[in-house]
Amino acid sequence: MQIDTGNTGFMLLCCSLVMLMTPGLAFFYGGLVSRKNVLAIMMQSFVSMGWTTVLWWAFGFSMCFSGDLKGGTDFGGIIGNFDWAFLRGITLDMPSPINDTIPMIVFCAYQMMFAIITPALITGAFTNRVTFKAYMLFLTGWLTFVYFPFVHMVWGGGIMAKWGILDFAGGIVVHNIAGIAALTSVLYVGRRKVKDLGPHSIPLVALGTGLLWFGWYGFNAGSEFRVDSVTALAFLNTDLAASFAAIAWLALDWFTTKKPKFLGLLTGAVAGLATITPAAGYVSPAAACLIGVIAGVVCFYAVALKNKLGWDDALDVWGVHGVGGFIGIILSGIFASTAVNAAGADGLLQGNTKFFLVQCLAVVISSAWAFAFTLGMLWIIDKITPVKVAAGTEEIGLDAGLHGERAYVEEAI
């Protein structure tokens, strides 16, 4: 293998950026909850950095990327084999499957960062309500039966790749399945008994948003796996969509509440980032601007619908990530163009109805799979250990009730 030091160095940088997104998510979620639940929600993100890494090393990477449908070396195009379990057989000079100028170990590390943040996204939906033991079981099961199979089906040479489904950086694999899992969790666990007072620190939310936005350049631009014009396109499209979505959400919030809300601006930016993710390297900058506006408007009203229906999705995971990923997959099927990326596909506007339809099929399959497996896992976990915290624990807060710690010492304030 001839290592390209530029590509490899770039991918290591992107790997670091994606890693930074998980602490960013912890700050984002931490600021949105009340003072007595800050550590519990942040810990759910940070523990994924540890435990998901263990699972990735043990069998996750192998389930995602060993074997393929074309060669008949995987399991029905749904999961890979276990030839690379415990990273057995992964040598230092082994090339990655996407770009043979990048070592496999770099590819492994980069994909691991995606695996870490995806289940952490779900935690914002059931904040203040779920026991830590149940969450650890959920984290293990959800990665094994939802995330790993979809990585293989879409990115690992599985059945969705054969159908021609494209997902540049994780609209299907990350945001849609996490968003649907979040909604399923909310419906299963039910509403909080103790009324939450809302965000205790919008500055923490702003810090988290900044880290997420910064890390997202590694998330999207890095998914080209080399430094070229498509890398630059994905980078630019990421910023354009986030910016346009942030302004669209701010405008709607301002119009409906008569005041420009900082929290609305921040939430809109994240919605734009989630929505452009599947399309970042397949659409033009003009399309990315339009996708950002659509993301800001649709996700804003999705959150309003959630509130009207009384779903206790505490931190709007479904409305932002689920709906954002959902429409991003559909919009990539509309706006994708081989004029900007020859390795992509032409969308509906270019006359390619088939590609649009397979993208719609991807939404249906991923949503149904994530809903069914998430519901099944929560039911099984509930038989092993209670999923929902006791009323007394919810009353005093999960920080003290579950972890025996407090984020803030009252006497010091």
DSSP string, 154-200: HHSS-HHHHHT---SSSIIIIIIHHHHHHHHHHHHH---SSPP---S
3-state class (DSSP) for residue 265:
helix
pLDDT at 376: 97
pLDDT at 1: 73
* Cα dihedral 95, 98, 100, 105 sign: negative
Q: Are 94 and 157 in contact (CB under 8 A)?
A: no
**Single-letter residue type at 329:** I
- Please write the tens of the pLDDT for every residue from 85-103: 999 999 999 999 999 999 9
pLDDT of 412 above 90: no
- Please write the tens of the pLDDT for every residue from 234-285: 999 999 999 999 999 999 999 999 999 999 999 999 999 999 999 999 999 9
Mean pLDDT value of segment 19-47: 97
DSSP 73: -
Provide the pLDDT confidence category of residue 315 given band limits of 50, 70 and 90: very high
pLDDT at 118: 98
Q: Mind giving me the DSSP string for 20-56?
A: HHHHHHHHHHHHHS-GGGHHHHHHHHHHHHHHHHHHI
- Residue 26 vs residues 19, 31, 273, 295: alpha-carbon distances, Å: 12, 8, 17, 23
pLDDT of 413 above 50: no
Q: What is the C-alpha to C-alpha distance for residues 319 and 298, in angstroms, rounded to an integer?
A: 9
The three-point CA angle 360-148-6 to 5° equals 90
- Residue 56 vs residues 95, 151, 354, 385: alpha-carbon distances, Å: 19, 12, 35, 25
3-state class (DSSP) for residue 368:
helix
Q: What is the mean pLDDT of the chain?
A: 96
pLDDT of 185 above 90: yes
pLDDT of 149 above 60: yes
- Please write the tens of the pLDDT for every residue from 188-201: 999 988 887 779 99
pLDDT at 197: 77
Share of the chain above pLDDT 90, in %: 96
pLDDT at 89: 95
* Cα dihedral 112, 115, 117, 120 sign: negative
The CATH H-level (homologous superfamily) assignment of domain 5-412 is Ammonium transporter AmtB like domains (1.10.3430.10)
Provide the pLDDT confidence category of residue 398 given band limits of 50, 70 and 90: very high
pLDDT at 409: 81
Q: Nearest 5°: phi and psi at 57? A: -65, -40
pLDDT at 367: 98
Selection from 106, 86, 83 nearest residue 96 by Cα: 106
